Amino acid sequence: MDKRAAAAGPAAGTYPISTGTAELVPDGDTPDGWLLKINGVQSSHIVIGDPLRLDFEYMRWITALVEDVFPPEAPDAPRLRVLHQGGGACSMARYLAARYRDCRQVVVELDGQLAEYVRAWFDLPKAPLLRIRVGEARSVTESLTPQTRELVIRDVFSGSHTPYPLTTVEFTQASARLLAPGGLFVANIGSSPDMATAREEAASIAAVFRHVALVSDPAMLKGRRFGNIVLAGSDHPIEGSPALRRRLLGGAVPAQFWEDAQVRAWIGAVQPRLDLPHG
């Protein structure tokens, strides 16, 4: 990494990283806004100085769901301990740090070079509020102490899909073990219009958690386009308050909230993904 250039702040250009290239593109509509692309694919958007600005709609869905389960203004709100499986520019971690007082977060990022750039370029909270751990998401998840997180967010992509080993029942079980009682697992699922892999990933999560919920937009759920589906799991019901449903409908891309029974009906007879045999 060119440490002198990085220390001067973000600058438009293409940078070599351990897994290929990172491209930093100025947001022409927003001062201090930056789009990060990894190997040509949009990965993250950040507005320096404004951590509550999220341009990716699926991230707004996730934060709406998280804030409904863990209201940040509640007098008995827990101090959130969060594991992010997947890093990018740490947009989600910046948001949660701004919304939840004394939140403690670990972001797992496979690419060490990218992690160095992101730390140098952007206004990330310092450790111990936000630590970036370089490693593979599954191995890190399996190494952590059980029941030490209120929230686990899976947002890992290789191209347009999450790597298979991070979509199985076994990986979801490892993630679930990290959650304290009442904790929440949230996965960002990239889906094609046929939604075949999305249903398989959802089936894996539904096989592990007693309660699941889903957020996405109607066009996505009707199989009209490529897009994102947010799937959540917990040992407690995820009911979706009226305020959450209004918030989702009022976004730039109106979204629907599906409760457990609706999600399981949508999954139908689709079988969950299991780890592939070695060898």
pLDDT, tens digit (0-9, with 9 covering 90-100), for 21-80: 999 999 988 889 999 999 999 999 999 999 999 999 999 999 999 999 999 998 887 789
DSSP state of 251: S
Report which residue type is found at 86. G
208-235, pLDDT tens digit by residue? 999 999 999 999 998 888 899 999 999 9
110-134, pLDDT tens digit by residue? 999 999 999 999 999 999 999 999 9
Average pLDDT over residues 127-147: 97
Domain range annotation of the chain: 54-267
pTM of the model: 0.95
Distance CA 120, CA 3 (A): 8
Distance CA 106, CA 93 (A): 9
With the C-alpha atoms ordered 177, 181, 183, 187, is the resulting torsion angle positive or negative? Answer: positive
CATH tag, 54-267: 3.40.50.150
Q: How much of the chain is in helix, strand and coil states, percent to nearest 5? A: 30, 30, 40
Instruction: Please give the mean pLDDT across all residues of the chain.
Output: 94
pLDDT band at 278 (very low <50, low <70, confident <90, very high): confident
Phi-psi region of 18 (alpha: psi -120 to 50; beta: other; left: phi over 0): alpha
Distance CA 173, CA 207 (A): 9
Q: Give the strands of the sheet with 33-38, arranged side by side.
A: 13-17, 20-26, 33-38, 41-47
Residue 5 pLDDT: 47
DSSP state of 164: G
pLDDT band at 8 (very low <50, low <70, confident <90, very high): low
